[in-house]
């Protein structure tokens, strides 16, 4: 299921290799505009509504962090 997350990330930033990074933000893979897109895409695809307070760096650090965030919203991964 992390494939779906990678797919979304790839749609936003096709040129980046998300599977290879452990730190999307530190490695410069996501900027502020990408973050807005990513949250919108996660909300839409996984039918959740991620709250503003959860939109913090540690929840978007890497694939595991995003997966953990989605689990918090009871998305079965």
Residue 67 interacting with another protein (CB under 8 A)? no
Residue 37 interacting with another protein (CB under 8 A)? yes
Which residue number, 11 or 17, has a Cβ lying nearer to another protein? Answer: 11
Residue 66's closest CA among 50, 52, 10, 53? 50
Cβ–Cβ < 8 Å for 30, 24? yes
Alpha-carbon distance of 41 to 22, in angstroms, equals: 21
Residue 56 interacting with another protein (CB under 8 A)? yes
Q: Which residues contact another protein (rule: CB under 8 A)?
A: 8, 11-12, 25, 30-38, 40-41, 43-44, 47, 49, 51-53, 55-57
């Amino acid at each position: 299921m992390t494939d779906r997350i990678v797919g979304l990330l790839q749609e936003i930033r096709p040129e980046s290799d998300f599977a290879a990074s452990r730190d999307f933000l530190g490695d410069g893979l996501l900027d502020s505009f990408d973050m807005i897109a990513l949250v919108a895409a996660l909300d839409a695809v996984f039918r959740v509504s991620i709250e503003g307070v959860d939109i913090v760096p540690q929840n978007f650090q890497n694939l595991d962090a995003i997966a953990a965030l989605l689990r918090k919203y009871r998305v079965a991964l």
